[in-house]
Amino acid sequence: MSKSLPRRALLSVFDKTGLVELATALAGHGVELVSTGGTARALREAGLEVVDVSAISGRPEILDGRVKTLQPEIHGGILARRADPAHMAVLAEHGIATIDLVVVNLYPFARTLASGADFATCIENIDIGGPAMIRAAAKNHEDVAILTDPADYPRLVEALAAGGTDGALRQELARKAFAHTAAYDAAIATWLDGLDGSPLPDPLLVAAPLQQTLRYGENPHQAGALHAWPQGRPGVALARQLQGKELSYNNLQDADAAVELVAGFTRPTIVIVKHTNPCGVASAATLHEAWERALAADPVSAFGGIVASNRPVDAATAEGLAGLFLEVVVAPGFAPEALERLAAKANLRLLVLDRLPGPGEAMLDVRSIGGGLLVQARDTTTSDPASWETVTRRAPTAEERAALAFAWTVCRQVRSNAIVVAAGETTLGIGGGQTSRVEAVELACRGLRVEPAAGPLVLASDAFFPFADGIERAAGAGIRAVVQPGGSLRDGEVIAACDAHDIAMVTTGRRHFKH
């Protein structure tokens, strides 16, 4: 694949960024410009000479523009192998000239879909001629260069100045072109797949462009990267970094865990996460108060942690954040005074997330295993506390029930086996990722200290208690009320243990494992 200068270029783009500059450079090298519709108008308005596609094909655009470039005169000129005498003879027989450069980007289907457009509008924004030209040019990259990304226009201009495109450049552009059309088709297929309400697609199509190469993965010897998922819901991958060091793989994992948890609360809330598990969570009347309570829940583990807020960070909260070594703070915004205070922590990463994910904005959870992918619907729903069933002789008080609802919201985002102890709207102990539930209870209850004003101690469990031993440990720590899914063969024994210690218990009927 030798270096070559194009003699004829076909330009048909929706995104006209850099179009005139590219076309001007092409014309300066004697390249004939062929174009369609709005692209041709933009070039003529810039004073450039353009040949309409219809003049080459001898046919007008038809079907409201659905058929423009789907013509032998166009695709023959793109697909002919220049080194094949038979191909070139066919072109000569039919009076078809070669097209050596194709510049195409597509109707913005994903943007149309995101705008909430109706079915008919989405259908009309499915590009047909564009992908056909892209694929034809990419297939024949031995002779044809294909540009789908305006960011690559300067490289093409540089290549023209150096004598033309070489085989390596054309092959790289072809790879990008096939990835471009694959992502485009994936977005359409995913949309159509979702119209029937099916929670799981068949096949799973993931088009996730590279967003950022990371310094490394979980450990320095592992490569790592962040890929955007256009079909995903709002989250950390869409956050804007205001200051601080480059984000690491582990930073992003922890920040995601913190955001998913803090998004579940309506009152001003702070979540502190360490190694994807919360170590301090609190809601309060003000964000600063929530910060102080969350930090007090486990000040040792909070060191070097990740903080998420569901409110813009104010000056008082920033003052508290600045007093502790933290890796990341993610919030819907930062007051100017807060940014000024946190600027002194030059390495602290500040992330702005314009919108927190909502409970109804589901997406797929995807993780790799040897030989395949595990896919599930994201756990975005939970039972309504009003529907919980009291199974003990004593029902929880209003104060206990409110604390149980808080603890249950936290528990859903803790690694299984998960136990959360809380008083009021503050966590006091969290036992996550344990191999037995009784050990999780012991970890969460270890060293509990609570002021009487904080309210009664309550406990949430992400799954049922298989034995009564967990309740016995909880009673010894002063727990007054418990929320759990229920459903164990020994539910009777567990309930009896609660009654024996005057502990109120409610069951949710829904488990929330998080492995």
pLDDT at 454 over 80: no
pLDDT band (50, 70, 90) for residue 68: low
The CATH code of the domain at 8-194 is 3.40.50.1380
Structure tokens at 67: 């058929």
Query: Which residue matches tokens 């994910």?
Result: 357
63 has a pLDDT exceeding 80: no
d(CA 404, CA 396): 9
Mention every residue, 6+ apart, whose C-beta is less than 8 A from residue 295.
272, 280, 302, 320, 324
Counting beta carbons within 10 angstroms of the beta carbon of residue 198, is it exposed (0 to 12), middle (13 to 18) or buried (19 or more)? exposed
Domain positions in the chain are: 8-194, 235-379, 382-507
pTM: 0.80
Q: 235-379 with 382-507: one CATH topology?
A: yes
Domain at 382-507: CATH architecture: 3-Layer(aba) Sandwich (3.40)
Fold classification of 235-379 (topology level): Cytidine Deaminase; domain 2 (3.40.140)
Per-position DSSP letters for 150-168, written without gaps between them: GGGHHHHHHHHHTTSB-HH
349, 244 contact by CB (below 8 A):
yes
Q: Nearest 5°: phi and psi at 6?
A: -70, 145
pLDDT confidence of residue 366: 82
Q: Is the pLDDT of residue 119 over 90?
A: no
Q: How far apart are CA 226 and CA 239, in angstroms?
A: 12
Name the burial class of residue 2, with classes exposed (0-12), middle (13-18) and buried (19+) by CB atoms within 10 angstroms of its CB: exposed
- Within 370-489, strands assigned E span 372-377, 389-390, 419-423, 426-431, 457-461, 479-484
Gap between the Cα atoms of 280 and 265, Å rounded: 14
**Identity of the residue numbered 27:** A
Torsion angle, alpha carbons of 327, 333, 335, 337, to 10: 20
Catalytic site residues?
A: 139, 275
Q: What is the pLDDT of residue 102?
A: 93
pLDDT bin (cut points 50, 70, 90) of residue 66 is low
**For residue 20, what pLDDT band results from cuts at 50, 70 and 90?**
very high
pLDDT digits (tens, 9 = 90+) for 267-289: 999 999 999 999 999 999 999 99
Counting residues of the chain whose pLDDT is more than 90, the rounded percentage is: 57
Task: Report the alpha-carbon distance of residue 431 to residue 463 in Å, rounded.
Answer: 13
**pLDDT (0 to 100) of residue 238:** 87
